[in-house]
Each structure stands twice: as structure tokens, then as C-alpha cells.
Amino acid sequence: GKILHGMLMIGPPGCGKTMLAKAIATEAGIPFLSTSGSEFVEIFVGVGASRVRKLFKQARQYSQAYGACIIFIDELEVVGKQRVFMDAFGGSSESNSTLNQLLVEMDGLNDDAAHIVVIGAMNAAEEVLDPALLRPGRFDRTISIGRPNLQERKDIFEYYAKRVRLDPSVDLARLARKAVYKTPADIENILKEAALVAVRGRRELITYKD
């Protein structure tokens, strides 16, 4: 069997896609290169494609030195959206060449067998991406990372509650039931805001009212 070349994480913002990618790299103990789709978009022709080449060249060097490397591309839909071939003004040729370079680097005519895993993350629907990017050998796996359920919300409240001084009478399970449809980022923010409210009220502990 061969290792997966790429995996795509799709889900609403603030659900921990970037955190998960960092956690994978940390647990595997290998180098982690992080970039964003917008970094490849440039007004000058050819710059996007050359940046993709530079990124993968750096990843190959890390891979030869450390055995493997992870590339994380956030906001993948910026660079990976479907190619346009009927363009009257020629404005899409630059994004086409950037995407073509990404396709070649992920599974093209490069002869070195470097272990590089590409993790992509985006908030948009899967349909906006070019079909060539989603074929086996490129982004093999699509992982949906959605909003947390009741138990997960309680765990997240407990995790972030360690960082603030909470009144022992506050029931985190009740807070978790009230925080339906909230993302982990929202839950962290609820506790941050409650801390600010408590400070303004000159209280040492955060109460349920806060």
C-alpha cells in the first residue's frame, strides 16, 4: 500500500481544522509547512506557480532530512477552484497555471519518492474545487469537521474553563446544553467575555450570570 498524498478538511470556521493539522504534525514528529491559498494569488503572471514550486521544493528537502513532511494549505478554495477555459479577458490564466502547478506537484511527473502529505482546509462546499484536485492520488480523503455535539461542547467548556477562575457552582453541562450550534472558537470566546464581565463587576470568580 501507498501512503495518502492528500486529505481535505471541510467544515465551518472555528471548528479546529488548523489545530488538527498542527496536532497531526506534532504527533508524527515531522516538519510542518503552513500556507494559505491567498499567498499564491498575485497580480504578476507566473508568481503563483513559482511559489507552489518553491513550497514543494522546501517540503522535499525537509522530507529527505526528516523522513516526511506535511504541507498545510488553508483556504484551499482560493487556489483550487475550477479552471476557466473560456475567458474573454484572460484574467483566469494566472489562477489556472497556479492550480496546474499544484496538480503536477501533488501527483505528476516528479521522479523522487518524497513522503509529502498535503492537508487542505476550507469552509466552502466541495463542489467549488476542480475535479482533477479531488481524484485519487491527490486529495484522496475528504474529512468533514463539523460543529461539536453535546458531550464535545462540555469537554471544550472544561478545557477552556481551566484558564479562567470559575465559580465552583457553575454547571458546565448546563452551559453546553445552552450553547447549541456553537463552534469551539465561540465557546472559548464565551468564557473570555464572561471573564471581562466579571472583571468589570470587580469579582474574583466568574459566576453563571456572567
Grade residue 4 by pLDDT with cuts at 50, 70 and 90: confident
Query: How many angstroms separate the Cα of 210 from the Cα of each of 156, 177, 193, 206?
Result: 18, 17, 8, 6
Give per-residue pLDDT as tens, 59-110.
999 999 999 999 999 999 988 888 877 665 555 677 788 899 999 998 866 6
Question: What is the predicted pLDDT for the residue at 96?
Answer: 83
Question: What is the predicted pLDDT for the residue at 86?
Answer: 64
Q: Rounded mean pLDDT of the chain?
A: 90
- Please give the full DSSP string across 34-100, using - where no structure is assigned: EEEGGGG--SSTTHHHHHHHHHHHHHHHHHHHHS-EEEEEESTHHHHBPP----SS-TTHHHHHHHH
Question: What is the predicted pLDDT for the residue at 88?
Answer: 56
Q: Name the amino acid, one letter, at 19.
A: M
Question: What is the predicted pLDDT for the residue at 109?
Answer: 67
Average pLDDT estimate for 186-207: 96
Question: What is the predicted pLDDT for the residue at 91?
Answer: 57
Least confident interval from 39-48, 71-80, 157-166:
39-48
Strands 32-36 and 139-144 come out as unpaired
Least confident interval from 24-28, 42-46, 176-180:
42-46
Question: What is the predicted pLDDT for the residue at 151?
Answer: 97
Question: What is the predicted pLDDT for the residue at 148?
Answer: 96
Grade residue 113 by pLDDT with cuts at 50, 70 and 90: confident
Choose between 135 and 41: higher pLDDT.
Answer: 135
- Please give the full DSSP string across 152-207, using - where no structure is assigned: HHHHHHHHHHTTS-B-TT--HHHHHHH-TT--HHHHHHHHHHHHHHHHHTT-SSB-
Question: What is the predicted pLDDT for the residue at 178?
Answer: 96
Residue with cell 466552502: 124
What is the Cβ-side half-sphere exposure of residue 131, based on CA atoms within 13 angstroms? 1
Pair 191, 153: CB distance under 8 Å: no
Q: How long is the chain?
A: 210
Question: What is the predicted pLDDT for the residue at 111?
Answer: 62
| Whether the predicted pLDDT of 204 surpasses 90 | yes
Q: What percent of the chain stands above pLDDT 90?
A: 70
